[in-house]
């Protein structure tokens, strides 16, 4: 006779534990909700928004649900993934965004650095937790109608001195919005033809983006079709991405001007790694929205080539404010990138500085937010404690193009084990306490890197760098 059968109390306890374990396993098993069972057609012509949302809502109500699709193209407006659920797109499944603004409800969010109402994205994880978007299918913004609308508006606005307002008045849906969310996964899909930013991670924490391919320059080059924007968020990992866009590819943002300074939320504890940028503004970008600051940022193992103007790009403006501390960027391969190290604290003045033209009084509230003066002492960004190393660059036009302001110099930068082949060396201005070691710049025109308005620069084992002036 077994010991359990001799002791009924122990036997009943073991059976109860097994039943509880089995119930827990059953409860934790995912339930599949097929969007087609809720009326989704996937024929590329029927508007499937309500049917897809019905499946997503059912998955959320049941808990731990996965929404799937039969192969096809599903025309949709904004859909919302809820807590504890997964939107899964198999190969052969495409969600294609509808081209009418009515398909995207206006919602509170942050856009280009200020809080305002804006059209929801095609796919949204908004105020949720433990939610996922997965699979090797496609999310297609069908963005050309939005791009054309922006350019038409911008041409009118430039003539009126309103270049800075065009990006806010030309309402265009993002492809994926992760807003005020936590414990989110985005893994696997092809993202293409976004009307505006492709993946916007804002006010969120514990987000993992893995294995995403972005192809926005299909049928044109859409304005502001950023790849992945990490905006005032915490504990974000972006890895194994492959990006072709027409603006910032992998970018960190933290608010614009007076509104960003009011919110004062930094990007912190961010890792971007193991990625490819084929087309975009830079291999890795910080800014131009810098108001909330950046702390503990690491970017590495990034290969950039093709139509990529910059390698490391830091950009801000005289009204942005903010700071950057403990920035680590390393192991970059830059082939044909025009400027491997580009830093400007006066980026794109026609966009960065908002002034309402005289006589224009009937304006939306966000014009007033954008044009609110920032006290001079708060307007300059302070970048310090930056380490850049293990960079290989070939085919550059200019090795360095770096400038800040005398009032807020770039302080405590360390650059080492960097090799750049370029047409010319370029310059560094407004720097303090820079250390360069094992840095070699080979130029076609024989020029050497020049430091201007700098102090405390230390050079060790360098080539192609003029003796740094000490001030």
Q: Give tens-digit pLDDT for 314-361.
A: 999 999 999 999 999 999 999 999 999 999 999 999 999 999 999 999
Compute how many other C-beta atoms are within 10 angstroms of the C-beta atom of residue 149.
Answer: 16
Q: How sure is the predictor about 377, in pLDDT bands with cuts at 50, 70 and 90? A: confident
Bond preceding residue 288 cis, omega within 30 of 0: yes
Instruction: Decide: 64 and 71 in contact? Cβ < 8 Å.
Output: no
pLDDT digits (tens, 9 = 90+) for 76-132: 999 999 999 999 999 999 999 999 999 999 999 999 999 999 999 999 999 999 999
Q: State how far the Cα of 215 lies from the Cα of 210, in Å rounded to an integer.
A: 16
Domain residue spans of the chain:
33-432
Q: State how far the Cα of 138 lies from the Cα of 214, in Å rounded to an integer.
A: 10
Q: Report the pLDDT value the prediction gives residue 269, as an integer from 0 to 100.
A: 98
Q: Report the pLDDT value the prediction gives residue 405, as an integer from 0 to 100.
A: 96
Q: Report the pLDDT value the prediction gives residue 468, as an integer from 0 to 100.
A: 61
Residue 402, both tokens: 């770096």
Q: Which of 193, 176, 191, 279 is nearest to 230 (CA)?
A: 176
3-class secondary structure, 391 = strand
Q: Report the pLDDT value the prediction gives residue 400, as an integer from 0 to 100.
A: 98
Q: Report the pLDDT value the prediction gives residue 19, as an integer from 0 to 100.
A: 38
pTM for this structure?
Answer: 0.93
Q: State how far the Cα of 462 lies from the Cα of 400, in Å rounded to an integer.
A: 15
- How much of the chain exceeds pLDDT 70, in percent? 93
SS (HEC) of 400-426: EEEECECCECEEEEEEEEEEEEEEEEE
Q: State how far the Cα of 62 lies from the Cα of 99, in Å rounded to an integer.
A: 32
Q: State how far the Cα of 430 lies from the Cα of 345, in Å rounded to an integer.
A: 10
Q: Which of 238, 181, 184, 183 is nearest to 204 (CA)?
A: 181
pLDDT at 471 over 60: no
Compute how many other C-beta atoms are within 10 angstroms of the C-beta atom of residue 215.
Answer: 19
Q: How sure is the predictor about 469, in pLDDT bands with cuts at 50, 70 and 90? A: low
3-class secondary structure, 70 = coil
| pLDDT, the chain, mean | 93
What value does the mean pLDDT take over residues 181-196?
98
Q: Backbone phi, then psi, for 165, in 5-degree steps?
A: -90, -15
Helices and strands (DSSP H and E) totals, the chain: 9, 32
Q: Report the pLDDT value the prediction gives residue 30, as an integer from 0 to 100.
A: 73
pLDDT at 311 over 60: yes
CATH topology of domain 33-432: Pectate Lyase C-like (2.160.20)
Within 8 A by CB and 6+ apart from 234, the residues are: 204, 205, 206, 267, 268, 269, 270
Q: Report the pLDDT value the prediction gives residue 29, as an integer from 0 to 100.
A: 57
Buried b (16+ CB within 10 A) or exposed e, 76-108: bbbbbbbebbbbbbeeebbbbbbbebebbeebe
N-to-C CA span, the chain: 91
Q: Report the pLDDT value the prediction gives residue 376, as an integer from 0 to 100.
A: 85
Report the DSSP pairing between strands 176-179 and 123-126: parallel
pLDDT digits (tens, 9 = 90+) for 211-236: 999 999 999 999 999 999 999 999 99
Q: Report the pLDDT value the prediction gives residue 11, as an integer from 0 to 100.
A: 38
Instruction: Decide: 416 and 438 in contact? Cβ < 8 Å.
Output: yes
Q: State how far the Cα of 156 lies from the Cα of 230, in Å rounded to an integer.
A: 31
């Amino acid at each position: 006779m077994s010991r359990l059968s001799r002791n009924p109390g122990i036997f009943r306890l073991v059976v109860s534990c097994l039943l509880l374990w089995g119930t827990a396993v059953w409860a934790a098993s995912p339930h599949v909700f097929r969007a087609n069972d809720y009326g989704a057609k996937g024929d590329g012509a029927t508007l499937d928004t309500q049917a897809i949302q019905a499946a997503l809502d059912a998955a959320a109500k049941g808990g731990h649900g996965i929404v799937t699709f039969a192969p096809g193209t599903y025309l949709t407006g904004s859909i919302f993934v809820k807590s504890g659920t997964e939107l899964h797109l198999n190969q052969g499944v495409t969600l294609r965004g509808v081209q009418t603004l009515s398909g995207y409800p206006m919602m509170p969010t942050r856009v280009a650095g200020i809080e305002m109402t804006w059209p929801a994205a095609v796919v949204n994880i908004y105020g949720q937790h433990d939610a996922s978007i997965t699979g090797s299918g496609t999310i297609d913004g069908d963005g050309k109608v939005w791009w054309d609308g922006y350019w038409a508006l911008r041409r009118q606005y430039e003539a009126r001195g309103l270049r800075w307002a065009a990006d806010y008045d030309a309402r265009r849906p993002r492809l994926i919005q992760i807003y005020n969310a936590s414990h989110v996964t985005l893994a696997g899909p092809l993202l293409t033809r976004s009307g505006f930013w492709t993946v916007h991670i804002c006010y969120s924490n514990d987000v993992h983006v893995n294995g995403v391919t972005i192809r926005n320059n299909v049928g044109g080059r859409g304005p502001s079709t950023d790849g992945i924007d990490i905006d005032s968020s915490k504990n974000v990992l972006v890895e194994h991405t492959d990006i072709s866009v027409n603006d910032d590819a992998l970018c960190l943002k933290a608010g614009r001007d007076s509104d960003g300074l009011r919110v004062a939320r930094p990007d912190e504890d961010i890792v971007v790694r193991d990625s490819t940028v084929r087309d975009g503004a830079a291999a890795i970008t910080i800014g131009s929205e810098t108001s909330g600051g950046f702390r503990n940022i690491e970017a590495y193992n990034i290969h950039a080539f093709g139509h990529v103007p910059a390698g490391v790009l830091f950009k801000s403006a005289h009204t942005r404010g903010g700071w950057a501390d403990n920035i680590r960027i390393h192991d970059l391969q830059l082939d044909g990138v025009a400027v491997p190290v580009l830093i400007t604290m006066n980026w794109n003045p026609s966009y960065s500085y908002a002034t309402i033209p005289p006589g224009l009084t009937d304006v939306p509230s966000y014009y007033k937010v954008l044009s609110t003066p920032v006290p001079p002492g708060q307007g300059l960004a302070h970048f310090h404690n930056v380490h850049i190393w293990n960079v290989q660059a070939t085919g550059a036009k200019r090795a360095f193009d770096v400038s800040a302001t005398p009032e807020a110099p770039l302080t405590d930068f360390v650059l080492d084990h960097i090799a750049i082949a370029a047409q010319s060396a370029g310059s560094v201005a407004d720097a303090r306490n820079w250390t360069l070691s094992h840095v070699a710049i080979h130029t076609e025109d024989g020029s050497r890197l020049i430091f201007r308005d700098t102090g405390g620069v230390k050079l060790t084992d360098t080539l192609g760098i003029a003796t740094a002036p000490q001030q």
